A and B are shown apart, each in its own frame.
Chain A
Amino acid sequence: MSFDAAALRAQFPIFREEINGKPLHYLDNGATAQMPQSVIDAVSHHESHARANVLRGVHTLAERATEAYEGARGKVAAFLNVPPEEIVFNSGCTAAINLVAYSYGSLLKPGDEIVLSVLEHHSNIVPWQLLAERSGLVLRVLPATEDGRIDVGALSRLTSANTRLIALAHASNVTGAVLDVPSVVGEAAKVGARVLLDGAQRIPQGPLDLQALGVDFYVFSGHKAYAPNGIGVLWARSQILEAMPPFMGGGSMIGRVDFTGTTYALPPRRFEAGTPPIAQAVGLGAAMDFMARLDWASVEAHEMALTQRLMDGLGRIAGARIIGPRGLQGRVPVVSFVVDGIHPHDLAQILDQNGVAIRGGHHCAQPLMEHLDLPGTARASIAPYNDASDIDALLEGVAMARRKLA
Chain B
Amino acid sequence: MSEDLYQQAIVALARDASHAGTLEPSEAKITRDNPLCGDRVTLTGRFASDGSLSEIRHKTRGCLLCEAGAAVVAANATGIDAAKAAQAGAEMRAYLNGSADKAPWTSGDAFAPVRAKKSRHDCVTLAFDALSGLFQTRS
Contacts and interface: CB of A to CB of B under 8 A. Distances in A.
Interface string A306-349: 00000000000000000000000000000000000001111001
B1 A353 contact: yes
B70 to A, nearest CB: 13
Contact of B38 (A346, A350, A361): A361
Contacts of A404: 3, 6
Contacts, number: 48
A197 to B, nearest CB: 26
B1 A361 contact: no
Contacts of A181: none
Contact of B39 (A20, A350, A352, A375): A375
Contacts of B3: 350, 353, 404
Interface residues of B, number: 20
B127 to A, nearest CB: 15
A366 interface: yes
B37 interface: yes
A369 B38 contact: yes
Nearest to A20: B1
Interface string B6-49: 10000100000000000000000000000011111000000000
A149 to B, nearest CB: 22
Contacts of A362: 37-38
Interface string A86-126: 00000000000000000000000000000000000000000
Nearest to A361: B37
A384 interface: no
Contact of A375 (B2, B40, B117, B120): B40
A14 interface: no
Contacts of B65: 345-346
Contact of A352 (B2, B40, B62, B63): B2
B62 A343 contact: yes
Contacts of B37: 345, 361-362, 376
Given A349-B120, A405-B6, A375 B62 contact: yes
A375 B11 CA distance: 19
Contact of B6 (A344, A350, A366): A350
A379 to B, nearest CB: 13
A143 B110 CA distance: 43
Contacts of A352: 2
Given A345-B37, A375-B40, A20 B11 contact: no
Given A362-B38, A375-B40, A405-B11, A345 B2 contact: no
A366 B1 contact: no
Contacts of A353: 1-3
B130 interface: no
Contacts of B117: 349
List the 4 closest A-B pairs by CB distance, nearest first. A345-B63, A343-B63, A362-B38, A353-B2
Interface of B: 1-3, 5-6, 11, 36-40, 61-66, 117, 120, 123
